[in-house]
Each structure stands twice: as structure tokens, then as C-alpha cells.
Amino acid sequence: MIQKRVREFLGKLFYQKKVPHSLLFYGKEGVGKKDIAFEFAKSLLCLKEVYPPCGECPSCKHMDHFTKAKP
């Protein structure tokens, strides 16, 4: 539920081209903050300029390398 609202909010920022210079993702451990942050960053670099990201372009594939890496 919360992730859906966060994704909708980020989608509005993305499509209105009103992305702030920084975003703070905070909340309880294990709710998906890192996943949503990487997804949004991936969209900002996506060559198709879509949110959520296409996942197929070279930029998305490059970002996949970082999201699958162990912390």
C-alpha cells in the first residue's frame, strides 16, 4: 500500500520533470526503500525515459548490475 503511494508520487515527479536534487528514503527496515530508490534512479537514466524503467535498454541493464550486487 505504502509502496504504491510512493511509486505514484515518484511517477508524478518524474513525468512533471520536477525531480528535486535529492530525495530521502526512510522508514522501517525491510519495506523496500532501497528497491524503490534504485527503481527511480534507473528511470532517471533509462533511455526510453519512462517510469517505471523499461529494463531493456543499455542503461537499465547497466543499473541491474548494481541492484543485484551485495551491499
Q: What averages of pLDDT result for each successive group of 10 residues across the chain (71 residues)?
A: 89 97 94 93 97 96 79 55
Residue 67 identity: T
As to burial, measured by CB atoms within 10 angstroms (0-12 exposed, 13-18 middle, 19+ buried), residue 17 is exposed
Model pTM score: 0.86
